[in-house]
Amino acid sequence: MEKTVKVAIQGVLGSFHHQVAQQYFGEQLEVFGFHTFEEVARSVEEGIVDYAVMAIENSIAGAILPNYDIIDRHALYVVDEHYLPISHNLMALPGQELATIREARSHPMALLQCKHFFAQHPEIKAVDDVDTAYVAKVIAEQKIKGLAAVASTKAAEFYGLEILARDIQTVANNFTRFIILSKEKPILKMPPTKASLKITVRNEKGVLAKLLTVMSEFDLDLTKIQSIPVMSKPWEYTFFIDTLIADEKQFGEAMKQIEAKYGAVKILGEYQNRK
Amino acid sequence: MEKTVKVAIQGVLGSFHHQVAQQYFGEQLEVFGFHTFEEVARSVEEGIVDYAVMAIENSIAGAILPNYDIIDRHALYVVDEHYLPISHNLMALPGQELATIREARSHPMALLQCKHFFAQHPEIKAVDDVDTAYVAKVIAEQKIKGLAAVASTKAAEFYGLEILARDIQTVANNFTRFIILSKEKPILKMPPTKASLKITVRNEKGVLAKLLTVMSEFDLDLTKIQSIPVMSKPWEYTFFIDTLIADEKQFGEAMKQIEAKYGAVKILGEYQNRK
């Protein structure tokens, strides 16, 4: 018998995070939902769970942009990435019909991604809420009629709601990127094709341009960059960078040159590019 | 008599946003609190308010990183910036003493910034909540004893709470950067010394390094950069960039070159650097 894997996620069960945890780890898992991403990271750090699944890049939950900072502060390791196609569905208590729905609640970004659907259904008022799956939970628990949630198929399944309209998002081919986190650096079975980095540089003229030119010369192709002012040192900046790796040796050489000339490099994770 | 200025903020009254609105616009103002940043932007777009005050860069509320994207989508204009020193204070119902406090609630980042204080007071349990001022509001309204909020002096004043410990943050000289937004581009009285840009580039090898090299050559000093994948075009990236402007003509020339060679430039605002 396989060992049950313990996985931490932010938010309630039935969320996109929950869906990714099952896709990635299979059914033999125990999922722990935490209120904040900070608590998720802490649960990995303290060994309460084996892994965390964390959204890191997308358009649905704005609040995920600071997650690299959380990963850094809790000394976690990015072991893999996973892409989930965004699929928003309108769901309500079983037996309800689309014509009886007067209001739909969800995360503001989810509602925004379904704006064409709501333009076609002006009788349904779209109202911002804190989360997608949370609304599904409340509707199911309090048996609220006339109200719908915009959430994942997983949420409908988990809370026993009926889907009244499927895939109501405006943009097709839109994915959310999740990362898998652990406390320990894993032993790599294959050469990594992607890495997440934290680089702290002095605020010298053009230092970022120079640093990125080095990366480009060593065939490192950036997929994400984000600056964070260093709290305790007003003139220093930290950059969180994701990069594709064409050749592992070139990657090592680039990091060496950046360390020598431009700033301190911390590798948050080396893993396989899944896109 | 001066006209009352209508200003939108995210969150409840007594927040850091409220504090900044008063510092910037003076007392002759009417403040409207909205649940989400999205609603704040919409209220400016629809002319319900004259301005919005929005946190854009700091370490206290992670959720603010996506705010440039919101500004862009609602076609708002950045008219100015404002820095507020971060000051966290422990507050409770009047008449309470520090020794009787068993729990303190606040935004996770606020609690983190006060970790030395809580290490010195192990008898007070620090618990994550959604907001700083919101906790102060709940304590005041429900008259909860033994519970403290970690929030601004404004929150204590606004909700009639007593400050039991002042400036309990660990890091000194830490500021939150706010921006002032309007629907119309204002007439500049002085040459701008800072700008907020949205630049959308093709995902070509080293394009960001080249673009930043151009900026550096024209004496533009970056203070912020953030990449956002373009939702509908999987191979394109958008960068939100803030830059100091040494010379307005050089700035114009750099933007012209970037437009010609690397991508589309949208100026979100040109204003005075206040740092």
User: Is residue B110 over pLDDT 90?
Assistant: no
> What is the rounded average pLDDT for all residues in chain A?
89
Residues A95 and A108 placed together within one structural domain of the fold: yes
Lateral strand order in the sheet of A77-85:
A29-34, A5-10, A51-57, A175-182, A77-85
In the prediction, which pLDDT does B62 show?
46
| CB-closest option in A65, A205, A234 to B65 | A65
Q: What is the mean pLDDT of residues B9-16?
A: 89
Q: d(Cα B49, Cα B6) in Å, to the nearest integer?
A: 5
If one compares B125 and A228, the residue with the highest pLDDT of the two is B125
Q: If pLDDT is split at 50, 70 and 90, which confidence band does B58 have? A: low
In the prediction, which pLDDT does A249 show?
96
Exposed/middle/buried for A192, CB within 10 Å: 0-12, 13-18, 19+? Answer: middle
Q: Establish if A73 belongs to a structural domain.
A: yes
Q: d(Cα A225, Cα A138) in Å, to the nearest integer?
A: 37
User: Is residue A88 over pLDDT 90?
Assistant: yes
User: Is residue A188 over pLDDT 90?
Assistant: no
Residues B111 and B160 placed together within one structural domain of the fold: yes
Q: d(Cα B91, Cα B72) in Å, to the nearest integer?
A: 37
Q: Establish if B243 belongs to a structural domain.
A: yes
Residues A111 and A61 placed together within one structural domain of the fold: no
- Residue of chain B minimizing CA distance to A211: B209
Residues A67 and A199 placed together within one structural domain of the fold: no
Domain holding B211, by residue range, is 194-271
Q: Establish if A188 belongs to a structural domain.
A: no
Neighbours of B206 (CB within 10 A): 17
- Distance from B3 to chain A by nearest Cα, in Å? 32
Q: What is the CATH number of the domain that holds A220?
A: 3.30.70.260
Neighbours of B144 (CB within 10 A): 16
Q: Is B176 a catalytic residue?
A: yes
Element (H, E) at A23: helix A16-25
Chain A CB contacts of B35 under 8 Å are 128
Residues A23 and A60 placed together within one structural domain of the fold: yes
Residues B97 and B63 placed together within one structural domain of the fold: no
pTM given for the model? 0.81
From A132, A176, A238, A243, active-site residue = A176
User: Is residue B65 over pLDDT 70?
Assistant: no
Residues B51 and B106 placed together within one structural domain of the fold: no
Percentage, residues of chain B above pLDDT 70: 93
B225 to A229: CB separation less than 8 angstroms, yes or no: no
Chain B CB contacts of A225 under 8 Å are 208, 225-227, 239
Residues A178 and A77 placed together within one structural domain of the fold: yes
Chain A CB contacts of B224 under 8 Å are 227
Element (H, E) at A245: strand A236-245
In the prediction, which pLDDT does A136 show?
96
In the prediction, which pLDDT does B233 show?
67
Q: Establish if B170 belongs to a structural domain.
A: no
| CB-closest option in A128, A206, A212 to B39 | A128
- Distance from B97 to chain A by nearest Cα, in Å? 29
Which residues of A lie inside 8 Å of B (Cβ-Cβ)? 35-39, 57, 59, 62-63, 65-66, 69-70, 108-109, 112, 128, 130, 171, 173-174, 203, 205-206, 208-209, 212-213, 215-216, 221-222, 224-229, 231-232, 234, 239
Residues B75 and B97 placed together within one structural domain of the fold: no
Element (H, E) at A29: strand A29-34
Chain B CB contacts of A232 under 8 Å are 171, 174
Return the HEC string of chain B.
Answer: CCCCEEEEEECCCCCHHHHHHHHHHCCCEEEEEECCHHHHHHHHHCCCCCEEEEEEECCCCHHHCCHHHHHHHCCCEEEEEEEEECCCEEEECCCCCHHHCCEEEECHHHHHCCHHHHHHCCCCEEEECCCCHHHHHHHHHHCCCCEEEEECHHHHHHHCCEEEECCCCCCCCCEEEEEEEECCCCCCCCCCCEEEEEEEEECCCCHHHHHHHHHHHCCEEEEEEEEEECCCCCCEEEEEEEEEECCHHHHHHHHHHHHHHCEEEEEEEEECCCC
Q: Establish if B39 belongs to a structural domain.
A: yes
Mutate to test the interface with A, among B111, B177, B213, B275 (most CBs of A within 10 A): B213
Q: Last residue of a domain, which of B148, B182, B216?
A: B182
- Distance from B76 to chain A by nearest Cα, in Å? 17
Q: How many residues does chain B have?
A: 275
Chain B CB contacts of A66 under 8 Å are 62-63, 65
User: How many domains, in total, are found in chain B?
Assistant: 3
In the prediction, which pLDDT does B131 show?
82
Q: Last residue of a domain, which of A136, A155, A182?
A: A182
Q: Establish if A189 belongs to a structural domain.
A: no
| Max CA separation in chain A (angstroms) | 66
Residues A82 and A178 placed together within one structural domain of the fold: yes
Q: Establish if B188 belongs to a structural domain.
A: no
| CB-closest option in A205, A225, A234 to B216 | A205
| CB-closest option in B57, B205, B228 to A216 | B205
In the prediction, which pLDDT does B236 show?
76
B209 to A229: CB separation less than 8 angstroms, yes or no: no
Q: Nearest-CA neighbor of B224 among B8, B65, B39?
A: B65
Chain A CB contacts of B109 under 8 Å are 38
User: How far is CA A77 from each of CA A5, A178, A224, B244, rounded to the nearest angstrom?
Assistant: 17, 13, 17, 35
> What is the rounded average pLDDT for all residues in chain B?
89
Mutate to test the interface with A, among B222, B257, B258 (most CBs of A within 10 A): B222
Q: Is A16 a catalytic residue?
A: no
Residues A65 and A128 placed together within one structural domain of the fold: no
- Residue of chain B minimizing CA distance to A112: B38
Dihedral sign, CA of A40, A83, A274, A193?
negative
From B176, B218, B243, B251, active-site residue = B176
Residues A53 and A178 placed together within one structural domain of the fold: yes
Q: Establish if B204 belongs to a structural domain.
A: yes
Q: What is the CATH number of the domain that holds A131?
A: 3.40.190.10
